[in-house]
């Protein structure tokens, strides 16, 4: 009996001791750790700005309130706020450098007026004329200088008689500024945040761009932002597979998005339809279930980036979607309901014979195939319009055309899906030779019949010789992008920039959009980040030391995830450990320049091999709840960062 009592006494004592030690550890953590830096949500920040400038609205037409860059990301915009006794129709004119570049707009009648001002010049005391019936008032708005790294045109050619006050909205190829140039080449609008990929005008007049946050390197963004030109974000859509390259607004308002499914260890072969009203994914298209991965490949194909979809176009007349597979030199069309393959446009060399029935045959020798194409679209008459980058004009290195002898072009094909015959009906660019050659990115746009934009965005030179690789993969001396507007086969505008740019859209500054106030809404989520099964023991951890500090590690909490950034060598083994005492999760940090590599080769130069590269790990908050203490394991040494993060 004594032995039993002693046994239970020892067990109780041991449990009490463990409990006391646990409480001491918890107390130590609670009192000695600090919360990580929290980055303010852009939607919350913009709402605070709005509440501040709207707290008083009793300004008059004679003495209005003027706010430059009201949402702090669009420096060449402003708001003019005032009230009128009766409902009034207000017209404003932002004076240009000449009458061809004046920007004028008339607003819906109202008593309370919140007037967006677009098209200001940088570093200028801009003149704005406000008109209320016969009353006129002139306001001056002084703007700041352009950022030093914002790119200005090196050449402008124009036929003024054929142009209007529409601007050319240019998006960067990676980092940079989404910028709008007028017909003189002057910057009249730009965003300071890094919104990349395409810029589109939605049916409601708002703009659709990427978000300004990566979900994975090298260029996969967390989703999409719907905003106005002031930079006010109305809606943000988050996606587990992120967003890249292109998005299409369907007639019902839903969005078809080029996304990824990283769990499959492939990229740029996944498309989703999201419900615009709530951000829910209502359709998923996995191209691996439609096309063969190992058929029709060109020299750029890899196991993980086998298709490289760079455009999406839905055609309601045929209920089909058209996609552009750069790494197969193929434009494909599939039935949107059944997801069955309808046809393939391109050279059928290297394709399995059972797919040959989907290919078109040329009607004549003048028809040329496209290579590594971008921006495929269906025109109102059913023709296919695309940018033929022309890479190698062959699927093999043996038959490759050198860059100096090559060309890129915009091209239109007429196709007969009954006879499976194809005819090239229009092209522009071949006659320009290698000066218009772009081995990546680029764009075409249809404005109206016989009126097009052709954008060669990725030309680069080394030792005065045009290059055959994207500029990011090789050292070059000079970059160039060329945008040409063609009307009735005549060049009416040409814009040359000393950089590489992704796409160009010609749009007016003012549309039928209605300026609305209120906090922006976010739909969707980024999904959960899967931890590894490794369970490190945390009893013996190291304090922050010189070895740890040399990695320059920064930990930040965004509204929906933890972001860990640092500099490491390729050989380093790094893990992030989140511990909330009763649960522990470990996440591997991949030391790679491009862990989800698309197009690019993960090569380290000598400096990077010696000093390491800067990498980032994103840990999404889905599935995490409560307080977690943060440890970083570097090459078997576990460091206590003395920081914690709260997930709610």
Asked if 122 and 145 touch (Cβ cutoff 8 Å), the reply is yes
373: which 2 tokens?
């194409």
pLDDT at 155 exceeding the cut of 90: yes
Mean of the per-residue pLDDT values of the chain = 93
pLDDT at residue 537, as a whole number: 75
Of 298-302, 473-477, 495-499, the one with minimum mean pLDDT is: 473-477
Distance of alpha carbon 621 from alpha carbon 619, whole angstroms: 7
pLDDT band of 627, cuts 50, 70, 90: very high
Q: What does the pLDDT average to over 50-78?
A: 94
pLDDT band of 475, cuts 50, 70, 90: confident
Distance of alpha carbon 146 from alpha carbon 179, whole angstroms: 11
Q: Does residue 310 have a cis bond before it (omega within 30 degrees)?
A: no
Burial 227-264 (b: 16+ CB within 10 A, else e): bbbbbbbbbbbbbbbbbbbbbbbeeeebbbbbbbbbee
**pTM of the entire predicted model:** 0.93
Asked if 424 and 435 touch (Cβ cutoff 8 Å), the reply is no
Q: Beta-strand (E) ranges in 95-164?
A: 103-106, 110-118, 125-132, 135-142, 155-158
pLDDT at 600 exceeding the cut of 60: no
Helix (H) or strand (E) holding 3: helix 2-32
pLDDT at residue 303, as a whole number: 92
Residue among 293, 299, 312 nearest 393 (CA)? 299
pLDDT band of 534, cuts 50, 70, 90: low
Of 5-9, 246-250, 460-464, the one with minimum mean pLDDT is: 5-9
Cβ-proximal residues to 582 (8 Å cutoff; 6+ apart), any chain: none
* SS (HEC) of 220-259: EEEEEEEECCCCCEEEEEEEEEEECCCEEECCCCCEEEEE
Q: Is 83 exposed, middle or buried (0-12, 13-18, 19+ CB in 10 A)?
A: middle
Torsion angle of C-alpha atoms 338, 340, 343, 345, degrees rounded to 10: 100
Tokens 């679209």 — which residue? Answer: 377
Q: Fold for 528-647, please state it.
A: Immunoglobulin-like (2.60.40)
71: which 2 tokens?
């949402």
Of 68-72, 520-524, 552-556, 604-608, the one with minimum mean pLDDT is: 604-608
- In the chain, domain spans: 1-32, 528-647
pLDDT digits (tens, 9 = 90+) for 309-326: 999 999 999 999 999 999
pLDDT at residue 55, as a whole number: 87
Of residues 27 and 78, more confidently modeled: 78
Asked if 402 and 468 touch (Cβ cutoff 8 Å), the reply is yes
Q: What does the pLDDT average to over 157-172?
A: 97
Of 259-263, 311-315, 594-598, the one with minimum mean pLDDT is: 594-598
Helix (H) or strand (E) holding 52: helix 42-53
What is the sign of the dihedral through the CA atoms of 432, 481, 372 and 331?
negative
- DSSP result, 165-214: S-EEEEEESSSS--EEE-TTS-EEEE-SS---S--EE-TTS-EEEE-SSE
Distance of alpha carbon 166 from alpha carbon 92, whole angstroms: 16
Residues linked to residue 461 through DSSP beta bridges, in sequence order: 466, 478
Asked if 141 and 67 touch (Cβ cutoff 8 Å), the reply is no
pLDDT at residue 610, as a whole number: 78
Give ∠ CA 34-39-40 in degrees, rounded to 5: 125
Distance of CA 322 to the CA centre of its chain: 20
Residue 123 vs residues 75, 96, 127, 176, 399: alpha-carbon distances, Å? 11, 14, 13, 20, 52
Euclidean distance between the first and the last CA atom of the chain, given in angstroms as a whole number: 50
Residue among 278, 310, 72, 77 nearest 192 (CA)? 72
Distance of alpha carbon 361 from alpha carbon 374, whole angstroms: 21
Distance of alpha carbon 72 from alpha carbon 233, whole angstroms: 12
37: which 2 tokens?
């830096």
pLDDT band of 12, cuts 50, 70, 90: confident
453: which 2 tokens?
């934009």
pLDDT at 620 exceeding the cut of 80: yes
pLDDT digits (tens, 9 = 90+) for 211-222: 999 999 889 999
């Amino acid at each position: 009996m004594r032995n039993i009592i002693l046994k239970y006494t020892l067990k109780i004592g041991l449990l009490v001791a463990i409990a006391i030690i646990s409480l001491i550890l918890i107390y130590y953590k609670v009192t000695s750790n600090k919360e990580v830096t929290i980055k303010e949500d852009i939607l919350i920040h913009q709402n605070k700005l709005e509440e501040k400038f709207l707290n008083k609205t009793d300004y008059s037409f004679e003495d209005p309130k003027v706010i430059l860059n009201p949402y702090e990301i669009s420096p060449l915009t402003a708001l003019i706020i005032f009230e009128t006794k009766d409902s009034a129709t207000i017209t404003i004119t932002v004076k240009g450098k000449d009458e061809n570049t004046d920007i004028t707009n008339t607003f819906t009648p109202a008593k309370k007026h919140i007037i967006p001002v677009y098209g200001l010049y940088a570093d200028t005391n801009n003149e704005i004329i406000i008109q209320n019936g016969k009353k006129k008032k002139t306001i001056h708005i002084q703007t700041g200088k352009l950022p030093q790294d914002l790119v200005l045109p090196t050449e402008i050619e124009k036929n003024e008689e054929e142009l209007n006050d529409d601007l050319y909205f240019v998006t960067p190829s990676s980092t940079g500024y989404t910028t709008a140039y007028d017909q003189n080449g002057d910057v009249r609008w730009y965003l300071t945040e890094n919104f990349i990929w395409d810029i589109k005008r939605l049916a409601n007049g708002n703009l659709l761009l990427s978000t300004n946050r990566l979900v994975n390197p090298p260029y996969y963004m967390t989703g999409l932002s719907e905003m106005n030109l002031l930079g006010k974000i109305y809606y943000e859509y988050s996606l587990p597979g992120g967003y890249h390259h292109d998005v299409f607004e369907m007639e019902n308002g839903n969005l078809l998005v080029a996304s990824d499914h990283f769990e499959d260890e492939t990229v740029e072969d996944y498309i989703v339809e999201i419900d615009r009203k709530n951000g829910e994914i209502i359709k998923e298209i996995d191209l691996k279930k439609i096309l063969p991965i190992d058929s029709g490949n060109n020299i750029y194909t890899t196991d993980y980036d086998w298709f490289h979809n760079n455009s999406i176009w839905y055609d309601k007349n045929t209920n089909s979607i058209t996609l552009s597979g750069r790494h197969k030199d193929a434009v494909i069309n599939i039935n949107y309901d059944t997801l069955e393959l309808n046809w393939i446009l391109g050279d059928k060399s290297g394709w399995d014979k059972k797919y040959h029935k989907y290919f078109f045959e040329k009607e004549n020798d003048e028809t040329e195939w496209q290579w590594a194409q971008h921006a495929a679209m269906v025109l109102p008459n059913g023709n296919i319009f695309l940018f033929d980058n022309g890479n190698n004009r062959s699927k093999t290195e043996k038959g490759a055309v050198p860059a100096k002898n090559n060309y890129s072009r915009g091209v239109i094909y007429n196709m007969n899906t009954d006879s499976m015959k194809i005819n090239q009906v229009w092209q522009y660019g071949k006659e320009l030779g290698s000066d218009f050659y772009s081995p990546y990115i680029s764009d075409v746009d249809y404005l109206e019949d016989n009126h097009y934009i052709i954008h060669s965005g990725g030309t680069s030179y080394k030792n005065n010789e045009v290059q055959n690789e994207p500029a990011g993969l090789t050292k070059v001396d000079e970059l160039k992008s060329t945008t040409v507007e063609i009307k009735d086969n005549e060049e009416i505008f040409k814009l040359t920039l000393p950089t590489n740019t992704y796409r160009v859209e010609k749009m007016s500054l003012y549309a039928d959009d209605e300026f609305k106030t209120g906090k922006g809404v976010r739909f969707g989520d980024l999904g959960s980040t899967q931890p590894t099964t490794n369970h490190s023991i945390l009893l013996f951890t190291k304090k922050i030391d010189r070895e740890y500090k040399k990695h320059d590690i920064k930990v930040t909490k965004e509204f929906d995830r933890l972001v860990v950034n640092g500099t490491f060598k390729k050989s380093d083994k790094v893990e992030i450990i989140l511990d909330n005492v009763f649960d522990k999760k470990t996440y591997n940090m991949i030391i790679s320049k491009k862990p989800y590599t698309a197009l690019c080769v993960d090569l380290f130069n000598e400096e990077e091999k010696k000093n390491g590269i800067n990498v980032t790990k994103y840990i999404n908050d889905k599935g995490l709840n409560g307080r977690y203490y943060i440890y970083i394991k570097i090459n078997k040494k576990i460091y206590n960062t003395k920081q914690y993060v709260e997930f709610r």
